[in-house]
């Protein structure tokens, strides 16, 4: 009887250990994916002041938009320090908002031929678009890792182990709402 009990206990321990390892691996993959996004966010944050400096020379009456971009950028930097799922979700929302504002800014720049012809802006825009592409790729990696971890956190028996070791589901990094809509530069020139 005792042997049977020990045997069952050993099997349960082995299953627990297997699920524990699998969860930790998934969490680490997710952290890896998240750090990939953070790196790209940091690159974008470093580039934005350069873009704004160039744009400000030509567009002087759109201070609100510039200020909003600067605020979003600094808010994102603040959230980066907290590494909780809620903070991450907030950071993603801000990132989407920042992306939208930057798209609007570039659309606005289209209306200023001198600015459009500026070589420095052209260069920084190319770098910016490359970073955005990297963010999109990193987001797909992150979402794939989130899907695996969340499935494990929500499906029994790994959900039980996840509860014991306090691993929580992470938020998906969704594309900005209306990101596929065409931007109307006219709305910003009023």
Partner 1 sequence: MTTKVSPYNIKQELYKAAKAIKLSRMQNIRLLIIIVAICLPVFMLMLLSGVLVKFVMYCHENNKLDFIAFIAVCISCLIYWPFMKYKQQAKNILMPFVCENLKEYEIKYYKDEKTVPIEFRRSYLHYSTTETLYGGDRFLLKFDDIFAGVYENTTFMLADIRATIKGYRRRKTSFQGVSVYIPYTNENISNVIVRRRSAEKPNKSQRIKLEDVRFEKYFDAYGDDQILARKLLTPRMIENIIRLAAIINNIKGPIRPEQLPEFIVTKKGMAIFIRSSEDAYEYNKGLFGKVDDLTGALEKIISEVKQTVAIIKACQKVELLDKIC
Instruction: Pick the stretch among 30-38, 49-57, 62-70, 114-122 that binds partner 1 (CB under 8 A).
Output: 30-38
Cα–Cα distance measured from residue 39 to residue 27, given in angstroms and rounded to the nearest whole number: 18
The interface region with partner 1, picked from 4-12, 61-69, 116-124, 136-144 by CB under 8 A, is: 136-144
Shortest separation between residue 141's beta carbon and partner 1, angstroms = 5
Other C-beta atoms lying within 10 Å of the C-beta of residue 172: 13
- Rounded (to 5) percent helix, strand, coil in the chain: 80, 0, 20
Q: Tell me the closest approach of the beta carbon of residue 39 to partner 1, in angstroms.
A: 9
Q: Are 58 and 114 in contact (CB under 8 A)?
A: yes
Give the nearer residue to partner 1 in terms of CB position, either 33 or 52. 33
In contact, 48 and 102? CB cutoff 8 Å: yes
Structure-token match 């720049």, residue found: 109
The answer to whether residue 138 forms part of the interface with partner 1 (CB under 8 A) is: yes
Name the DSSP class of 112: -
Task: Return the range that interacts with partner 1 (CB under 8 A); candidates 52-60, 111-119, 134-142, 151-159.
Answer: 134-142
Instruction: Build a one-symbol-per-residue string for 42-61: x at contacts with partner 1 by CB under 8 A, - elsewhere.
Output: --------------------
A 10 A CB-CB count for 166 gives 6
Q: Which residues of this protein are in contact with partner 1, per CB under 8 A?
A: 32-33, 36, 133-134, 136-138, 140-141, 143-144
């Amino acid at each position: 009887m005792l042997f049977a009990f020990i045997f069952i206990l050993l099997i349960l321990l082995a299953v627990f250990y297997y699920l524990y390892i699998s969860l930790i691996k998934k969490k680490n993959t997710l952290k890896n994916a998240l750090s990939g996004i953070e790196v790209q966010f940091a690159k974008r944050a470093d580039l934005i002041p350069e873009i704004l400096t160039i744009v400000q020379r030509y567009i002087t009456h759109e201070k609100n938009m510039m200020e909003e971009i600067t605020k979003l950028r600094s808010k994102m930097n603040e959230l980066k320090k907290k590494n909780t799922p809620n903070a991450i979700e907030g950071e993603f929302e801000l990132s989407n908002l920042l992306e939208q504002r930057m798209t609007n800014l570039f659309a606005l720049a289209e209306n200023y031929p001198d600015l459009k012809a500026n070589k420095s802006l052209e260069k920084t825009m190319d770098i910016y678009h490359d970073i955005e592409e990297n963010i999109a790729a990193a987001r797909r990696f992150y979402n794939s890792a989130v899907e695996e971890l969340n499935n494990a956190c929500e499906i029994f028996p790994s959900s039980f182990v996840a509860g014991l070791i306090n691993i929580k589901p992470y938020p998906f990094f969704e594309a900005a709402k209306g990101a596929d809509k065409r931007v109307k530069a006219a709305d910003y020139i009023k």
